[in-house]
Every structure is written in C-alpha cells, then in structure tokens.
Chains A and B, each alone.
Chain A
Amino acid sequence: QKEVEQNSGPLSVPEGAIASLNCTYSDRVSQSFFWYRQYSGKSPELIMSIYSNGDKEDGRFTAQLNKASQYVSLLIRDSQPSDSATYLCAVNNDKIIFGKGTRLHILP
C-alpha cells in the first residue's frame, strides 16, 4: 500500500516565524512531489513542486526533498495569518497519492 503520511496538526506558529511542514512517503520510486494549500471549504491550490533532492525556493516558500529518507518538507518564512490553511503533500510515481494534510494556524 503506497502511503503519504503527514501530521494532522493543528500546527500553531506565531506570525513572522518559520512554519515547517513535514511529509513522508512509502514508495521509494516516487518521482514527483507537490505541496498544495487548501483553505476551508475551498479546493486545493498548487504552491510548490519538487523533483530532485535538495531545496527549491519560491518567494517565502521552500520545499526540501530527501529521497534517501523518503521525506519532503515545506518551509514558510515570515508566516502570515493568510497562510493559515491545510497543507496537502502529494507524491507521484504512477499515481498521485495525497496525504491527509496538516492544518496550520498562524497566530497574530
């Protein structure tokens, strides 16, 4: 059974701090990795994709991938109240598998 695991949270982070979201996956041959943000009652929105080991930065977001440890993370710098949402990790090999998401709450 291919799985993607995330801590459900909620993860509470003070405004302006760094939020760190983690995800592990079970299938070693996974090729592509994605982070989606989902506000309550809304559809998921793609915010980051990463395909090779290391870090990928886009504005306040940094995705980190470690294929040896089967681990992908998302860092959000200078957290804002608008970052409060559920963050879904998705992993692709032959199918895209989603984690159940981590609820992030930014404290003003």
Chain B
Amino acid sequence: SQTIHQWPATLVQPVGSPLSLECTVEGTSNPNLYWYRQAAGRGLQLLFYSVGIGQISSEVPQNLSASRPQDRQFILSSKKLLLSDSGFYLCAWSAAIFNEKLFFGSGTQLSVL
C-alpha cells in the first residue's frame, strides 16, 4: 500500500532563516505531488505541484520554492522566512494530476517568530 512521509512535525524558525521541508511517497511510481499551506482560520492553499522529476508548477508567487530531485521526493524550501509563512504545511500525492483523490502526509506546523 502507498504511504506518504512528511517531516518534521513541528518547526519553530526565526524570521529570515532558511527552510527545508521534505516529503517522500512509498508504494507507487510517478505520483503527482503537491504542497499545500493551511493558515489559521483559512482554507487549504495550493502552493506547488509536480507531475514528474524536475517539473514544478507554482500556484502562488512568494518566497517559497519547491524541488523534486527524485520520483517520490518533494522538497519545499525558502531562503528567508517571513512571519506570514507561518502555517500548517501539507504534502499530498495523487495517482493522476488533479483528477484523482488526494492523500495527505501528516503535516508540518511551522511557526515563524
């Protein structure tokens, strides 16, 4: 069966520091991968999605970036965090791009202070 791993579970970072969140999927090949952010009191916001290695689409222009160095690995990064980057970050995968069910990782609660 397929599983998705996301880490760390919680992170407290100062403003201006870098960020790296990692997500890996097991039990499937060539998954579509997504990064979402859920801010307090707000809905799920799609940040990036990827249909293959090295293929990244950005939904929201901001100081975040994403990379997919391997088929089942998705990384979210920032060179300098802002206060507004605080939120619950969720990695997800699907079998077909946007036309299939999404399965989420356990999430990372990021607090930027």
- A interface residues with partner B (beta carbon < 8 Å): 31-32, 34, 41-46, 49, 88, 90, 92, 94-96, 98-101
Known: A49-B101, A94-B98, A96-B98. A44 touches B46 (CB 8 A): no
* A98 and B104 contacting across the interface, CB-CB below 8 Å: no
- B90 (CB) vs chain A CBs: closest residue: A43
Name the interface size band of chain B.
Answer: 10 to 19
* A98 and B43 contacting across the interface, CB-CB below 8 Å: yes
- B41 (CB) vs chain A CBs: closest residue: A100
- B49 (CB) vs chain A CBs: closest residue: A95
Cα-based distance from A72 to B49 in the complex (angstroms): 26
Cα-based distance from A88 to B105 in the complex (angstroms): 16
Q: Which residues of A contact B105 (CB under 8 A)?
A: 43
B44, B98, B101, B109: which contacts A46 (Cβ < 8 A)? B101
Q: Which residues of B contact A98 (CB under 8 A)?
A: 43-44
* A42 and B107 contacting across the interface, CB-CB below 8 Å: yes
* A41 and B109 contacting across the interface, CB-CB below 8 Å: yes
Q: Which residues of A contact B106 (CB under 8 A)?
A: 42-43
* B98 and A95 contacting across the interface, CB-CB below 8 Å: yes
Known: A44-B104, A46-B103. A100 touches B98 (CB 8 A): no
Cα-based distance from A86 to B34 in the complex (angstroms): 21
* B43 and A99 contacting across the interface, CB-CB below 8 Å: yes
Cα-based distance from A22 to B105 in the complex (angstroms): 26
* A92 and B107 contacting across the interface, CB-CB below 8 Å: no
- Tell me the residues in window 45-104 of chain B with beta carbons closer than 8 Å to chain A beta carbons: 46, 90, 98-104
Cα-based distance from A34 to B101 in the complex (angstroms): 8
Known: A41-B109, A42-B107. A100 touches B42 (CB 8 A): yes
* A92 and B99 contacting across the interface, CB-CB below 8 Å: yes
* B99 and A101 contacting across the interface, CB-CB below 8 Å: no
Q: Would you give the shortest CB distance from A108 to chain B, in whole angstroms?
A: 26
A41, A45, A88, A94: which contacts B44 (Cβ < 8 A)? A88
Cα-based distance from A95 to B103 in the complex (angstroms): 15
Cα-based distance from A43 to B101 in the complex (angstroms): 14
Given A43-B105, A96-B102, 11 extra CB contacts under 8 A: A32-B100, A42-B106, A43-B106, A43-B107, A44-B102, A46-B103, A90-B102, A94-B98, A95-B46, A96-B98, A100-B43
